[in-house]
Chains A and B, each alone.
Chain A
Amino acid sequence: MKITGSCHCGFIKIEGEADPEKVSICHCTDCQTGTGSAFRVSVPIPGAQFNMTGEPTGYVKTTADSGNLRVQAFCPKCGSPIYSTTPGAGKQAAYMVRVGILDQRDQLAPKRQNWFRSARPWVTALGGLPKNEKQAPP
């Protein structure tokens, strides 16, 4: 399906083609720190179908168990994570786009969870937590 997205401040805009069946959660500790949250949600977009305006900052992460380098792109103005990809000049083979920045995120439910060994134990029990429809009462 066609997807479009943007960082929070609008400096970075992307579009491409993504397969909703390939949406996944990553529970690795690098993704926990990189999102500041419990896990990441990503979907791959082939480089040939990926277009972007604006210039993200690339952070080359060297801490993967595999030893692989991975470029983590984020907006230099608002900090929104945009994608990860392989290092190198020019267009890469694929981009793992962060689903939270996509306009169609409601249609991009994850189909798989990776690095479950470091998943926060509570993520599978969210239904039991009290819910406020908007902000918490003061």
Chain B
Amino acid sequence: MKIDGGCHCGFIAYEGEADPDKAAICHCTDCQTLSGSAFRTVVPVQDADFRMTGGQPSIYVKTAESGNQRQQAFCPNCGSPIFSAPPGDGPKAYFIRVGTIRQRDAFVPKAQVWARSRQAWLADAPSVRTSKDTQ
């Protein structure tokens, strides 16, 4: 389906085509740190289907446990994570951060990766106290 999105401050904007069945959660410790949260939610967009329509993101190159390098793109003004991608030219997929997609309601994760470092309390989330609106 067609998607569009961007960072919180509006500097970064993008559009593309993404398959909702490919939305996934990543529980790796890198994603925990880089999101500041418990996990990341991502969906791949092929480069032929991906277009940046606003400003240019900052790029941080992360070296994974596998030795693979991976670009982490974020907004230089507001810090919102935008995507990750392999460095260099050639065919690639951009792993878009679902929280920045306007149509995020349509992207329900279908898989979880790096479950070995998943935060233990996630299984218990329904029992955590909830407030309907604000604190």
Interface residues of A (CB under 8 A from B): 6-9, 24-25, 30, 32-41, 57, 59, 61, 63, 65-66, 72, 74-82, 98-101, 105-106, 109-117, 119-124, 126-127, 129-136
Contact = CB atoms under 8 A, between A and B. Distances in A.
Contacts of B25: 126, 129
Given A35-B99, A100-B33, A124 B72 contact: no
A35 B131 CA distance: 20
Interface of A is mostly: mixed
Q: Which 6 A-B pairs have the closest CB atoms?
A: A36-B97, A98-B36, A74-B79, A79-B74, A81-B36, A36-B81
Contacts of B131: 112-116
Interface stretch (B48-56, B85-93, B110-118): B110-118
A41 B37 contact: yes
A129 B23 CA distance: 12
A63 B60 CA distance: 27
A59 B35 CA distance: 16
B132 A117 contact: yes
Contacts, number: 197
* Interface size range on B against A: 35 or more
B69 interface: no
Interface of B is mostly: mixed
B109 interface: yes
B110 to A, nearest CB: 7
A126 B98 CA distance: 16
Contacts of A65: 134
Contacts of A116: 130-133
B79 A81 contact: yes
B38 A132 contact: no
